[in-house]
Amino acid sequence: MRYRQSYSHELCAQVRTHFALSQTELADFLGISRALLANVEAGRRTLPYSALQRLFVLLRWMPAPGGEGPAAPEFTAEPTAAPDLPDRDELSYRRLYVQAAIAKIKLELMGRGRRQQTYARRHWALQVLRTGLATTTAPTAPALLKMWQIAAPHPEEDMLWLRLLAKDAADAPEPLTATERALRTARLRGLEAERTALDELLGAAPAPA
Note whether residue 153 is domain-resident.
yes
Structurally, the chain folds into a number of domains equal to 1
**What is the mean pLDDT for each group of 10 consecutive residues in the chain (209 residues)?**
60 92 95 94 90 93 89 72 70 93 88 70 88 82 80 86 87 79 92 93 66
Instruction: Please give the model's pTM, rounded to 2 decimal places.
Output: 0.55
Q: Looking at the domain assignment, is residue 93 inside a domain? A: no
Look at residue 1 in the predicted model and tell me its pLDDT. Answer: 38
pLDDT at 2: 44
Distance of CA 35 to the CA centre of its chain: 18
Tell me, what's the pLDDT at 209? 47
| d(C-alpha 149, C-alpha 3), whole Å | 12
The per-residue pLDDT for 131 is 86
Instruction: Indicate which CATH number applies to the domain containing 66.
Output: 1.10.260.40
Nearest CA-CA partner of 53 in 25, 31, 69, 76: 31
Q: How far apart are CA 181 and CA 116, in angstroms?
A: 12
pLDDT of residue 49: 92
> What is the residue range of 44's domain?
5-75+135-170
Q: Would you say 16 and 23 are in contact if contact means Cβ atoms under 8 Å apart? A: yes
Question: In this predicted structure, what is the pLDDT of residue 116?
Answer: 66
SS3 175: coil
Within a domain: 31: yes
Residue 47 lies in a domain: yes
